[in-house]
Structure 1
């Protein structure tokens, strides 16, 4: 998406996309940025939700050339400063901020600064699974075994093995996943003060 007068953004930030009907009724949703700040366009992942006012419009109606109302970038607390060693523990569509962080780290020539554990039901259900796999992420599929890893959520041992040198952790996913991920990180030895959480749920 092309954004006029675009401001620079940090990985982890989001935009607010607002739709406006002819009668001036509005509906808006927040979407995390998947793109690196140096990318020529901004990239969002839109999950089409049945009955979702904004997602159904963006998926089924919006066309190239349409003009949308945007506000952003938003959010400084849940953003990576591009210098601090970080771990992302993300689930489902919550992988998007981790994608932006890994892309930025790769551009900076410091892919070692960002480690990712991404959780989904299976490879076909996890957005950006192939890209994250190529970036060296740990992929944990709860309903499908892949390679030598059996099906199941990430374990404390898997997470603890990635925490050496990590100073901040980013958790993004559903409320249920976020609660699980926070508990797992603290069990693995990370201070709660080092954990930043962005959770989402169904809106109606």
Structure 2
């Protein structure tokens, strides 16, 4: 599959642009979506990310990278930030940053881990924790009559599921399947797979809590013969495990695209 063209030229993507907060949305117990108005935004593709720079009154700056959470819409840009305990930037963005406040953005960044609405074939999305953010941008960009999408989302427990209500609504959309895997025990399991921590798919099939395993992807995804494009995003250990499961099942390595993150002092 050919690499997608990236919006804007290289110089445009390297430039810092002023941005102001338009709206905040709480997405989970620890995650908040920030809707920003970015001056002369060049556009982006689902799966890309941006650099966000904060500048203190004394001139000190801190920069962090965040995945874009929604398709391009003029100068409107959405990022979802998960609060990191004792972090330098994420607690400020989640708890202090207010509508009208200013930051700077640079991007979009990334050209391999992207999906385009005209891209053919089925899509398998595998998310660990906040790794669901760029995958959500892909789901949101999917046309009403588009290729089939399946999301397998691993989270510690239901309260940690980002975009919980929207994902539940998308699960009822023709061509979209959403399944949850919970790694810690919590409330009793509900039929929709989002009200308990034993783990359940969109049809209410229950499995004991634990890390992602081959059966979770075999039951929700397609086989190698279906040639899905697989997007895997999350912590490094999760991504390596999921990619190994897919490769061991016989999926073409060229169709397994990964994006990983680790501790950054966020």
TM-score by length of 1: 0.89
CA distance in 2, matches of 1:20, 1:40: 21
1:148 matched residue in structure 2: 205
Is this contact kept in 1: 2:47–2:114, CA < 8 A? yes
**Cα-to-partner distance string for 1:66-125 (whole Å, 9 max, x where unaligned):** 1111011111111112213321111100000111111110xx223534321111112111
Unmatched segments (≥5 aa) in structure 1: none
**Residue 40 (structure 1) shift:** 7.1
TM-score by length of 2: 0.70
2:82 matched residue in structure 1: 47
2:132 matched residue in structure 1: 95
Give the number of the structure whose residues are more often strand, by fraction: 2
CA RMSD of aligned residues (A): 2.0
Is this contact kept in 2: 1:12–1:80, CA < 8 A? yes
The verdict on how the C-alpha distance between 1:65 and 1:111 changes in structure 2, with shifts beyond 3 A counting, is same
Task: Indicate the larger mover: 172-181 or 31-40.
Answer: 31-40
1:81 matched residue in structure 2: 116
**Cα-to-partner distance string for 1:139-186 (whole Å, 9 max, x where unaligned):** 111222243312334442442342253442111100111111111111
**Residue 29 (structure 1) shift:** 0.6
**Cα-to-partner distance string for 1:11-66 (whole Å, 9 max, x where unaligned):** 00111100112332211111111112248732211111122111122122211111
CA distance in 1, matches of 2:179, 2:264: 30
- Please say if 1:138 is aligned against 2:138: no
CA distance in 2, matches of 1:6, 1:62: 21
Greater C-alpha radius of gyration:
2
What is the total number of aligned residue pairs between the two structures? 202
Task: Indicate the larger mover: 124-133 or 151-160.
Answer: 151-160
Which of 136, 160, 169 matches 2:218? 160
Which of 226, 232, 245 matches 1:184? 245
Which of 5, 18, 22 matches 2:53? 18
2:95 matched residue in structure 1: 60
The verdict on how the C-alpha distance between 1:191 and 1:16 changes in structure 2, with shifts beyond 3 A counting, is same
Give the number of the structure whose residues are more often helix, by fraction: 1
1:124 matched residue in structure 2: 159
